[in-house]
Amino acid sequence: MTTLQDQMKQAVALAAVDQISSGMVLGLGSGSTAALMIKELGARLKDGRLKDLVGVTTSFQGEVLAAELGIPLQALNAVDRIDLAIDGADEVDPGFQLIKGGGACHVQEKLVAVRAERFVVVVDASKLVQTLNLEFPLPVEVLPGAWRQVQAQLNSMGGEAQLRMAVKKAGPVVTDQGNLVLDVKFAGGINEPADLELAINNLPGVLENGLFINLANQVLVGEIIDGMPRVRDLAKG
């Protein structure tokens, strides 16, 4: 039996897939809700409700799932456009600014989001925050040979940066690009995310950080109302 949270994720994933039309080039996101979206997309392709779709995945995990479901895939460099990208987020503020990277896929996720004509974010209500980074750390992908240097620079900027360690293997998390991730918390959260995104990305040794600024066009929020899953189309604050 599925939990209410599972039903909520399923509802918001279906709402996102409802925006897909035949012939689109799609950015396929990462994470549990995005996986449900990919599964529904595969089902609609199989039964003919959708046709002639091409997916561009944001993670190896998503690539494996999409391939198993028979979704045609192309590399980012092989497509001339992305019509619609659908992905989750770890935090969303009232201005639709995001923190992503809990799954250490934010480099490819940002490449796809920037390329997309429309970027739709699917989350549950727990991901909505007034101020970014009060709870969820900001992921920063760094070159393996530079992580100590970048850590020191982030600490000098007022952050507390910790190397992300793997859970079921010895040593640190390694991204799909072969890099490491520093998770950073700033006292009081992030109040100027656009400025901070640029400042961090200007540090030598940094590949990309998990601030997604002015990229989301729509946020779909899964909620439980009176014991039933509902989807809210969030109004931008």
Residues serving a catalytic function are 109
Cα–Cα–Cα angle for 127, 15, 76, nearest 5°? 80
Half-sphere exposure of 202 (CA within 13 A, CB side): 7
The number of angstroms, rounded, from the C-alpha of 4 to the middle of its chain's C-alpha atoms is 22
**Cβ(76)–Cβ(57) below 8 Å:** no
User: CA-CA distance, 198 to 188, in Å (whole number)?
Assistant: 19
Q: Judge contact between 120 and 85, C-beta under 8 A.
A: yes
Position 55, amino acid: G
